[in-house]
Each structure stands twice: as C-alpha cells, then as structure tokens.
Amino acid sequence: MKSAILGFGISIPSRRITSEEIAHAWKQDPETMKAGLGVTEKSVPDAGEDTFTLAFEAGRQAIELADIKTSQISAVFVGSESHPYAVKPTSGMVAAALECDPFCHCADLEFACKAGTAAMQIVDSMIRSKQISHGLAIGADCAQSKPGDALEYTAAAGAAAFVMGSTDNKNALCQIDQTLSFTTDTPDFWRANGKQHPEHAGRFTGEPAYFHHVREATKGILEVGKIKPEDIDHVVFHMPNAKFPSRIAKELGFTKEQLEHGFIVPTVGNTYSACSPLGLAHVLQQAKKSDRILLVSYGSGAGSDAFLMTMMRDGVALAPDTRETTYINYCEYQKLTAAH
Amino acid sequence: MQSPIYLTGTGQTRFGEHWDMSIKDLMEESIDAAIENAGCTALDIDMVIVANMLGEVASNQAHLGAMAASLLPHHPPALRAEAACASGAVALHTACALLESGKAQTVLVVGVEKMTDIAPSKIAAGLMGAADAEKDAPCGLTFPGIFGLIANRYMHEFNLSRERLNHVSARHHKNGVKNPFAQFRKEIPAEAISMSPKVADPLCMLDCSPISDGAASVVLSTKFESPIKIAASQLATDTLSITDRPTITSFAATKDAMSAALQEANIEREEIAHIELHDCFSIAALISLEDMGFATPGNAIALYEKESPMTINQSGGLKACGHPVAATGIKQVIDVSKQLKNSKSSYGLAHNFGGAAATCGIHILSHA
Amino acid sequence: MEEQPLPAASTFSLMRNTPAAIHRAQKDLQRKLQEGTILSFTTVHHTPEGFPAGPRNIGLIELEDGQKVSGHLISETDQPIAIGMKVLPKMRLSSVNTQGLRTYDVSYEIPVQQTVKQEFPGYVLALTGPSGVGKTTVSVLLSTKVGKYVERVPILTTREPKEGDADEYVHVSPEEFLALKNEGKLATSTCIPSRDEKRWYGYRTEDIDAIWQKKMIPVIITEMNLLQGLSSHYGRRSILSFGLMPPGKSKRQMLSSLLHRLRDRGRDTEKQIEDRLKNAEADLDFFKTRSELFDDVIVNDNVDTVVGQLGGLVLERVKA
C-alpha cells in the first residue's frame, strides 16, 4: 500500500533583496558573487512573517487543493531550523490554526535543510501503516545568516506543505513509490543553542557533506527503485546555491532539462527546510500523468532523504500570487532580519 | 429633576503639563477653588465623587474617592466613577441621583486626570481601554486611529473635504484665546491645521485634543441655592467597538442622551444658547452636532463656517483647553455655567462622551 | 519583529498578551480568516506600546459573512488604499510579549491591480416606509409628474408573483438571485424570512447604472436593510432618502391608518395584514433609531402634496 500527495501549497514572502544589493553593502564584487553562487535574489520575510505564518499559509493552500476537510487530517509534522519557539511546537500551532481535529499526531522536526522531507517520510509511513488516513507535512524556514557571511546571499524564507493520503483518494496527485534516508555525523554546518546565527565549515561543506550524502542517497534509491537516471522525468535536489545541485546532477547523469522545473534557487534563494519541498511543489504544477520524479534533500549534520514518485494525473497549477514582489535595500533588510 | 439641584461652586486647574503636580495636588487645587466660590463650606459636603480613568495606568493609583475625601477636614463618604472620557458626566449623573434620592444634600464632584507621567505610547495603549480590548486593540489601533477610520468614512459618505474640516479646530483655538484655563491660547489659521504632522490619516496633530493633566470640581446641592440649576442629566450607551455598529458616522448614544435630556428639561433644542461638546477629535464635533439634531447628516460643517444660532465650545473645547480625560465632563459644565451667567440666557448644554461614544452623558443647565 | 523592552519597575504593566488572553483569542482567528471589503482605513503614525513603530495601515473591514473587524492592512505597492477595495486574510505575527510569548493575528492584504471607482456615482431617490403607507403610489405619481427626470428601479425578488403586484418586481429563481449576488451584480440585497420560506430582495447595479446613463434619477422603493445596504454601497450622500409615515398623532393611530389602507388595497389576507402591521412597528421605530439614514421623514396624508414636494427636490438636484 502506498501513500500519495493529494494537495500542496507554498508560501514565499513577497520581499526580495538582490545579491547586487548585498555585495554593494559589503564592498564585494556583485558579478563574482552571482557567478559563484548562481543566486540573483532571495526572499526576505517581513516584520509579521515567521515560520509559523508561512507554514500556516502553505498548509491552507495545500488543504484547499486537496479538497478535503481540515478535520480529516490526523497528523501535522513541521520541519524547520527556525521554529518560532525552542519549546512550543509549530506543528501544534499549525494544527490548531487550521482547525484540525485535536486528535492529531503533531511534532516538530529539526534536521537542518532536510527537516521538511523528514516530515514527509513520517506522514508517508503513518498512511501506509493505516494509522492515519490524511496527514500534513510541512517544510518551513526563515533562515538566519551572519551579516557579511557568504550565507547572507542565499539564506531565504519560505514554506511548502503537502497533504498526503491514500492512493485511493480521488484527488491523489503523486504517489510516493519509494523513500530512503542516508545519515552520518558530519560537522559541516551547525547552530549552537542560544546562538542567533549558524556557523559553517567553508569548503568542507562540499564533497564530504552535500555531495557525499546526495550521491549515496541517490544511488541507493535508484538501485532500490530499479530505475536509471534517464528514466526520471523530473529531478529535484536540495539547492543551497545554484552550483551544487547542477554539479551533482551532471555527475550522476541527469540533464539540465530534468532539473529545470524545480530549480527555483536563483530567484528565491535557499529556503532551507522548504528548499527541496518548494522545488517539488513547482514540479507538481507542471508534471504530466505517469511522469517519474526523483527528490533528494540534504540536511547538514548530515543526511539525505530520497524519494521516487510517480504522477497519478497531470499536475495542477496553483493560483497566481496576488502580491507584487518588492525589492528592499540592505538597510531595510537588516531592520527586518535583526530580530528574527 | 424631582427637587432642584443647584450648581453652587465651581473650580478647576489650568489644563496642561503639570510636572510639579501629582493627582492629589491637581484634585486639591480644583477642590479648593470650587469650595472658595461655593455657597457652602467644606464641612457641608456630604459626599465626594471622583471621576477618573487612568489612575492605575499612569500613576499606579486606584481608590481616588478616598484620596479626595481625605483632602477635606471631615473626610466624608466617597466613590470613584469611570466611563472613559465620559467619567465626568457619569460622576455628575451619579451625584444627581444621590441628591434626588436624598441620600446626600451637597455633593462635591471632582474630575481629575494625570497623563504626562508616562510615555505617550503607554498612554495611547491605556486609552484603548475605552474601546474593546478584544476587538479594537489587537490590530494596533489607537484612539486617533479609531477616529481616523470614522473621519475617512464620513468624508467618503458626505464628500467633506480636508480643507473644510480645518475650520473646526481653527474655531476652537480662536475661542480658547480668551480662556485663562485653556492649555493653548493662540489662534491658529485654518490652513495650518491640515499642515500639522499626520497622526492617523486623515487626522493631523491639530485635529486631535492633546494629552493633558488637570482637574475640575463642582459642588451640587439641593440645600444651597444658586442661579444655575441642573435641568437635565441623562446617560446613554452604545457598543464599545465601532465594528459592532451599523454605521460609524453617527453615534446612537448621543442621539439617545439628547432626546432624553431635552425631554427631562422639557425644552426644545432651539432654546439652548450655549453648548460645550466633546471634540476629542475635530470630526467628533461635526458628528455630535448632527446627532444632537443641530444639523442634518453631512451638514454640521456649516455651523463652523458661518455663525451658529448657539455658541459652540466657546471655552475652546477639548482641542484648545486640553483633555485630561475625566476632568473634561466637569469642566464643560463649569464653562456652560459661566457662559449662562455672562449672557443671562436660560439654557446651556454640556455633551460629554467616552470612547467612540460608547457612553454619552448630556447635562442641560438652566439659569434663573 | 522588535522585542518589547522590559517595563519600568514602577509602571503598571499592560498585560494584554497573557497566555490566557492569547488562548481565548484563538477562536476569533478563525472568524477573521475571511475575505472582505474595506469600509474605511487610516494610517496610525504613533502606534501604541507593544507594536512596531508606525506608520501602520489599519482598516475597518466588512467580512464576507457581514461581520465587521478592524485589522492591520498590508499593502505592498505604492497604490493608494481606497474604500471599497477587496482584501485577503493573512496570518501574521502581531507582537511578542516580554516573556517571548508570541501573539498571532489576521492581517488583511490588498491584492494588486484593483481599481475602485472614486467619483460620485449619482443620486438615488429612496422611499422607505411600512407596507401600505403609499410608497408605490407616490413613486408612480412621481414618474408621471417629473417623468423626464426619474425612473423606477425594479426590485429583484425570489418570491412568487402575487395577484395585484404592480410592475415593480422582477421575479427570479433563488439560484439566479444567488448567482447575481455572488458575481457582485447586486447593489445590495437582503433576505426576509416569511412564514414558509426565505425571500430575497435586491437591486441590480446595471439597472441603476442604466438610469444614470440616461441622466435620470433612479427611484427606489425600499425597506430598512436595503436602505442601509444602498447607503453603504453608494455612500450616504448619494441617497436622497425619504421616510414615509402614515398620518396619526400617535403610533396607535398610525398603525390604525395603515390597517385601513391595507384592507382597502385588498391585496393581502388578514393573516398577511397582521404580519405587515408587526413589521410596520419596526419600520416606524427605524425612522427614529436610524434617523441619520433619512434626509426627511414625511407624513403621507395627501399624496399630491408629497409628490409635489419630492418632485421639487428632484428638479433641484437635476439642475445642480
């Protein structure tokens, strides 16, 4: 028995700051920064947005698309590295705000950028074991970065939510065929208790961290799923910048065309726990029935979750955004992010 | 009134920033002044009623009835009444009820407010207690904001321009020049009103009554006579939140209190020679005149552009005199009594409301 | 979101965002998560304690279910906010108290690309009053007298046509009516429950617009709820609003003269007349409690006098 995604939703703040703007603030060369990271602008949460509000809006959209009643949801799992509280779960707040039935499994997850996909794995297994009929998995973040650090160019904010249920459901959109995880203890990126900004290990975050785990998880799922790269229609890798996913894709035999639909990092930035989930959400809008999808997330610390999925019907476009993106300068950016 | 109630003593402090005076000092000055010109002595006072809204918020001080009573040698019985900015009218109404029932024969009513000791943002938050804490405060509204919503809607419904609205505050400031108790005594040209800094669009700083300290006291008695009587004392209420009303450009509480007051005094509104109305914000003056029936909806501004049959806020109103919240209702009655004595006309009216007119108190005074 | 500074020791602490208060406010959040229309707005430049420094846009919003709320307005663009704009509910962090406890509230976002007609739309002559007072008679005679300048607006209704109905009603099915309502094609509508069914009444904006196109004044026969709705929709000053009262020195006399007129009309059964009289009392009270909705309340003693009065007013407005 498999589970399927019934509906999905996204929430990305409407404010953006360009890499150009950040580079000017720190007297760095904008072209070098853009070429190096491949990110031209990133999303910035405004004063009233936080991980909960983004998770809520994404969840609302997902439930609407899934066309179910919120009372049918029996599990809400939210993965983030910027939960509003260290102790008081975002998932409980989301479940209550969405008016889910109080008899609902809720917990918050942390595994750096793969906490959102970890949430999906848990909901998937609860459905397959018939413990629940419908569940909501959310990846959401308002990522923090130290002023002047390279992460400032990419640490962004956003949320993606998935309503999951049985493949029998009339709205079943995308079946989860397989999922596996590859985990080690690797100190590439961390944030200590009480610290506002994370630390990272520079070039160590490449081969021993991102590439090793994504490679192993991808190889693993291709083997278990008995499928070759050329048979995959859409690939979504975690996108800490534009370079890493492009490089691993090439190495593993995937083309630019396969990456294209979920490749949102250049204009949104790295939304951490929402990153690969948002990539998936974009794919789900454009994929066709029977398309095969490969999703491989990466969370520092470190681990990768890999999913093989099959579209059960044509993808559904989300309602167009009713807001206009507005661009802010570095001064406004500091005002907004100082307290997050 | 069943037995005539006389206004036998009046006294107030100047309204303004009194850094050297506490709540007690303010009360004391106004009480002394009132007893000074009263037709009785301090010892004749049977009861003290204090009107106050922000004692706890601004001064950590409740229990103001006892505090005021202790200023008199015989510390008579006392209580405190509160209805936000209508506390003054409500205290007067309570005094009238005690006098009519015979429970007291001479009552001292003191309205006092000390607002300048804490930051304006804290006072703004405290004043929101006059609205609905659950419906109005959570989105970040202040009272200027509430009246900004009201003004914007009024201008939309009746096509009132910003320029014409200027005449309200300009007239009030002009009137205040001659009032030694007013906080502001300079004339301000109409154009300057809308050029003052914005507070809550479309309202500017000069559309809003100021934050002030002050106290005003009166002595009401059934025993000690005077030429000024209370011909009517009526209260009315409405929903706390403007979100619960069918319209925000008219206040039901004013309409109700007005018709009850006219009936109690047994007069027509045309007989009223002087009114002191509650211009907490310029737009409130226009709406109040319409609700009291002195103008049809949308047309009260004409009373500020031309001469009006009765005087309006001859003292300068809340705008020029200042608005120490609970003192205002008492001060209005004092000013009406002075205007009646001066002009020898027969009737004057004080219109006082709290919040967005969730309470309205109207007193009609008669001059023998 | 700025954290609040710790309050000074001697200051009375405004404990608005206490755990229990936040817990109780949760139910309100659900109610507030509706789309709405801006009835009024303001920009607060000096926010109260506990909120980020201004300026802060706040609106008075009418939600889809008819309830009103005050709410923070989010407007990303430079486009000026206008009364009548539609808004969408968005969950937002509202404030953080001194203990780090967060309060969330619903803000209202103005989607881009909305244009709202700002010019004065025109005048509508509205006649309100209890059944039997003579509204239809007056309006028919008025269109005879100043027919060049006025035209009657048909009332859409879902109730069945009755014998004796003048031509003022346009009968539609409940489905059609609700479709028009949902598409925003009605200037206002109201539902009046009767003994056995719910009856909808309303006016089509295109009927009113068509009369304005002809440079004439629409004449509307209406009742309390529809009048309120018209005033909200077009703005109070667009409505030339007249209440018609039956003759009589007391309420009892007025109701009695209505009773006679209703019997004479011969359109209703005794039971229906009884219902109408009950409503008539409420109508007469409405003139008093909502006097701001009326430019004048006229006693309909002599139909010609009333028609003459109204006719004169129409000519005045038309010339203006």
Which letter does DSSP use for residue C147 in this model? T
Determine the pLDDT at residue C113. Answer: 66
| Mean predicted confidence (pLDDT) in B231-239 | 98
pLDDT at A258 over 50: yes
Going from the C-alpha of C193 to that of each of B367, C158, C200, C274, C276, the distances in angstroms are 53, 12, 8, 15, 13
- The DSSP output letter for A319 is P
Joined together, the tokens standing for residue A249 give 């894709």
**Is residue A14 within 8 angstroms of chain C, CB to CB?**
yes
Check which CATH number belongs to the domain holding C66 and give it: 2.40.50
C114: pLDDT strictly greater than 50: yes
Q: Which residue has the higher pLDDT, B149 or A321?
A: B149
pLDDT of residue C18: 85
Residue written as token pair 């973040």: A141
- Over 90: is that where the pLDDT of B174 sits? yes
Average pLDDT over residues C129-156: 87
With beta carbons less than 8 A apart as the criterion, state whether C61 and C71 touch.
yes
A59 - beta bridge partners?
none
Is A7 inside a domain boundary?
Answer: yes
The confidence score (pLDDT) of residue B80 equals 98
Q: Is A84's CB within 8 Å of C102's CB?
A: yes
Percent of chain B as helix, strand, coil, to the nearest 5: 40, 20, 40
C291 plus C145 within the same structural domain: yes
What single-letter DSSP state applies at residue A48?
Answer: T
The three-state secondary structure class of B243 is: helix
Residue A340 lies in a domain: no
**Minimum mean pLDDT among A167-176, B89-98, C114-123, C143-152: which range?**
C114-123
pLDDT digits (tens, 9 = 90+) for A25-66: 999 999 999 988 999 999 999 989 999 999 999 999 999 999
**The pLDDT of residue A340 is above 60:** no
Burial tier of B14 (Cβ tally within 10 Å: 0-12, 13-18, 19+) = middle
Distance CA C269, CA A110 (A): 73
Q: What value does the mean pLDDT take over residues B328-344?
A: 97
The whole-model pTM stands at 0.83
DSSP states of A292-305: EEEEE--BTEEEEE
Interchain contact, C58 vs B134, CB within 8 Å: no
pLDDT interval class at C192 (50, 70, 90)? confident
Measure the CA–CA gap between A267 and A287, rounded to whole angstroms.
21
Question: b/e for A294-327, b at 16 or more Cβ within 10 A?
Answer: bbbbbbbbbbbbbbbbbbbeebeebeeeebeeee
Q: How many CA atoms lie within 13 A of B243 on its CB side?
A: 24
Comparing CA positions, the residue from A317, A43, A35 lying closest to residue A173 is A317
Both C232 and C295 in one domain: the answer is yes
The pLDDT of residue B302 is above 70: yes
Range of the domain at C175: 124-319
More confident call, A248 vs C232: A248
User: Residues A151, A198: contact at Cβ < 8 Å?
Assistant: yes
Question: What distance in Å separates the CA atoms of residue C257 and residue C261, rounded to the nearest whole number?
Answer: 6
Choose, out of B134, B141, B143, the residue to mutate when testing the contact with C (most C CBs < 10 Å): B141
Q: Please report whether residue C101 resides in a domain.
A: yes
More reliable by pLDDT, C182 or B46: B46
Contacts of C305 (CB under 8 A, 6+ apart): none
Q: Are residues C49 and C133 in the same domain?
A: no
**Distance (Å) from the alpha carbon of C111 to chain A's nearest alpha carbon:** 5
**DSSP 3-state assignment of C220?**
strand
> Does the pLDDT of residue C122 top 60, yes or no?
yes
pLDDT at C281: 85
State whether residue A49 sits within 8 Å of chain C by CB.
yes
Hunting for tokens 């999808």 — which residue is that? Answer: A293
- The answer to whether residue C114 is domain-embedded is no
User: Residue A202 falls within a domain, yes or no?
Assistant: yes
**What pLDDT does C115 receive?**
64
Closest CA to C62 of C85, C82, C46, C91: C85
C94 contacts on A by Cβ (under 8 Å):
48
> Where in the sequence is the domain holding A26, given as residue range(s)?
1-334
Poorest-pLDDT segment among A242-251, B68-77, C56-65, C260-269: C260-269
CA atoms within 13 A on the CB side of C153: 30
**pLDDT band at residue C8 under the 50/70/90 scheme:** very low
Token pair, residue C194, equals 């009767």
Based on the domain organization, do C176 and C281 belong to the same domain? yes
C76 closest CB neighbour out of A14, A56, A84: A14
Q: Is A81 a catalytic residue?
A: yes
Which residue, of C76, C109, C142, is where some domain finishes?
A: C109
For residue A282, the surrounding DSSP H or E stretch is helix A275-286
The strand order across the sheet containing C155-157 reads C169-171, C155-157, C198-204, C186-193
- pLDDT single digits (tens) A132-178: 999 999 999 999 889 999 999 999 999 999 999 999 999 999 999 99
Band (pLDDT 50/70/90 cuts) for residue C11 is very low
pLDDT, tens digit, 9 for 90 and up, residues B241-279: 999 999 999 999 999 999 999 999 999 999 999 999 999
- A85-88, long-range: CB within 8 Å, 24+ apart, which pairs? A85/C100, A85/C102, A86/A193
CB atoms within 10 A of CB B225: 13
A178 within domain boundaries: yes
CB atoms C91 and A84 under 8 Å: no
Q: C320: pLDDT confidence band, cut at 50, 70 and 90?
A: low
Distance CA C162, CA C178 (A): 22
CATH of the domain at C236: 3.40.50.300
In three-state secondary structure terms, A325 is: coil
8 Å CB contact of C28 and B134: yes
If you average pLDDT over each of B115-124, B357-366, C3-12, C144-153, which comes out highest? B357-366
Model confidence band, residue C53 (pLDDT cutoffs 50, 70, 90) = confident
Q: Which residues of C touch A339 (CB under 8 A)?
A: 1-3
C53, C139: one domain: no
pLDDT at position B169 over 60? yes
Count structural domains, chain A: 1
Report the distance separating Cα A5 and Cα A171, nearest Å.
Answer: 9
Task: Say if residue C288's pLDDT is above 70.
Answer: yes
* pLDDT grade for B210, boundaries at 50, 70 and 90: very high
Confidence band, pLDDT 50/70/90 cuts, at residue C16 = low
Q: Report the range of poorest mean pLDDT among A79-93, B100-114, B303-317, C204-218.
A: C204-218
Q: What is the pLDDT of residue C119?
A: 63
- Helix ranges restricted to H, chain C: 19-32, 135-145, 174-182, 205-213, 224-234, 251-265, 270-289, 303-319
DSSP string of B282-316, one letter each residue: HHHHHHHHHHTTSS-TT-TTHHHHS--SSEESTT-
Question: What token pair was written down for B289?
Answer: 């005149």
For the structural domain made of B6-119+212-221, what CATH number should be given? 3.40.47.10
The predicted pLDDT at position C117 comes to: 60
- Calpha distance C153→A69 (Å, rounded): 43
Predicted confidence (pLDDT) per residue in A55-100, tens digit? 999 999 999 999 999 999 999 999 999 999 999 999 999 999 999 9
Minimal CA separation from A218 to chain C, in Å: 37
What pLDDT was estimated at residue A257? Answer: 93
Q: What would the two tokens of residue C198 be?
A: 């719910």
Q: Indicate whether C149 and C243 sit together in one domain.
A: yes
Q: What's the N-to-C CA distance of chain B in angstroms? A: 15
At residue B156, the 3 state secondary structure works out as helix
DSSP assigned state of C6: P
Question: Token pair for residue B175?
Answer: 């009137």
Measure CA C274 to chain center: 27
Separation between Cα atoms, residue C64 and residue C72, nearest integer Å: 17
pLDDT on residue C195 = 67
Catalytic residue (choose from A134, A234, A238, A261) = A238
Distance CA B221, CA B229 (A): 9
CB-CB contact of C281 with C245 (8 Å): no
Q: Which of B3, B11, B89, B2 is nearest to B363 (CA)?
A: B89
pLDDT band for position C234 (50/70/90)?
confident
Among candidate residues A113, A142, A174, A275, the one labeled active-site is A113
**Cα C167 from Cα C169, distance rounded (Å):** 6
Q: How many domains does chain C have?
A: 2
Query: In the predicted model, is pLDDT for residue C197 greater than 50?
Result: yes
Q: How many whole angstroms separate alpha carbon C205 and alpha carbon C209?
A: 6
A-C contacts (CB, under 8 Å): 56
The CATH number of the domain where A37 resides is what? Answer: 3.40.47.10
pLDDT band at C298 (very low <50, low <70, confident <90, very high): confident
Amino acid at C171: H
> Higher-confidence residue: C108 or A325?
C108
Residue C311 has pLDDT above 50, yes or no: yes
The pLDDT score that the predictor gives to residue C7 is 34
In sign, the C-alpha dihedral spanning B178, B183, B189, B194 is negative
| pLDDT at residue C9 in the model | 29
More confident residue, C14 or C237: C237
pLDDT confidence bin for C10, thresholds 50/70/90: very low
Is the backbone of residue A147 left (phi > 0), alpha (psi -120 to 50) or beta?
A: beta
User: Cα(B331)–Cα(B159) distance, rounded to whole angstroms?
Assistant: 33
Size of interface B-C (CB pairs under 8 A): 149
Which of C52, C78, C109 is the C-terminal boundary of a domain?
C109
What pLDDT band is residue A314 in, cutting at 50, 70 and 90?
A: very high
Alpha carbon distances (Å) from C136 to A161, C139, C142: 58, 5, 10
Residue C1 domain-assigned?
Answer: no
B106: left (phi over 0), alpha (psi -120 to 50) or beta: beta
Mean pLDDT for chain B? 96
Are residue C200 and residue C71 in the same domain, yes or no? no
Q: Chain C residues contacting A, CB < 8 Å?
A: 1-3, 26, 29-30, 52, 72, 74, 76-77, 88, 90-94, 100, 102, 104, 107, 109, 111-112
Q: Is residue A105 in some structural domain?
A: yes
Which neighbouring-strand residues pair with B30? none
Q: Which of C60, C76, C109 is at the close of a domain?
A: C109
Residues of C in contact with A52 (CB under 8 A): 91, 93, 102, 104
For residue A183, pLDDT beyond 80: yes
Across A183-187, B146-150, C65-69, least confident range: C65-69
The helix/strand count (H/E) of chain B reads as 13, 12
Instruction: Name the closest residue on chain A to residue C109, using Cα atoms.
Output: A323
Q: Is the model more confident about C7 or about A152?
A: A152
At A339 the pLDDT is 60
pLDDT value, residue A303: 97
pLDDT above 70 for A321: yes
Question: From the centroid of its chain, how far is CA A146?
Answer: 21
Cβ-contact B339, B10 below 8 angstroms: no
pLDDT of residue C15: 55
Counted residue by residue, chain B has a size of 368
- The neighbouring-strand residues paired with B106 are B221
ipTM: 0.91
**C3, C76, C107 ranked by CB distance to A323: nearest:** C76
Per-residue pLDDT at B209: 96
Q: Tens digit of pLDDT for each residue in B14-23? A: 999 999 999 9
- By DSSP bridging, strand A105-109 and strand A75-79 are parallel
CB-based contact C102 A85, cutoff 8 Å? yes
List Cβ neighbours of A305 (8 Å cut-off, separation of 6 or more).
Answer: A114, A117, A118, A120, A121, A179, A180, A181, A217, A295, A296, A297, A299
pLDDT, position C12: 35
Q: How confident is the model at residue C73 (pLDDT cuts 50, 70, 90)?
A: very high
Distance CA(C163)–CA(C269), nearest Å, equals: 12
Mean per-residue pLDDT over chain C, rounded: 84
Rounded to the nearest integer, the mean pLDDT of chain A is 95
Answer yes or no: do C306 and C178 share one domain.
Answer: yes
Give the mean pLDDT of B119-123: 89
How far apart are the CA of C41 and the nearest CA of chain B, in angstroms?
Answer: 5
Same structural domain for residues C97 and C32? Answer: yes
Which chains contact B through at least 3 pairs of Cβ atoms less than 8 Å apart? C
A325 → chain C, closest CA residue: C76
Check whether residue C256 and residue C163 sit in a common domain: yes
C151 touches chain B (CB under 8 A): no
Residue of A57, A81, A152, A216 with catalytic role: A81
Q: Identify whether residues C194 and C307 lie together within a single domain.
A: yes
- Given a cut of 50, whether residue C4 has pLDDT beyond it is no
- Pair of tokens at residue B282: 């310029």
How far apart (Å, rounded) are the C-alpha atoms in residues C35 and C64?
6
Lowest-pLDDT range of B22-31, B313-322, C113-122, C237-246: C113-122
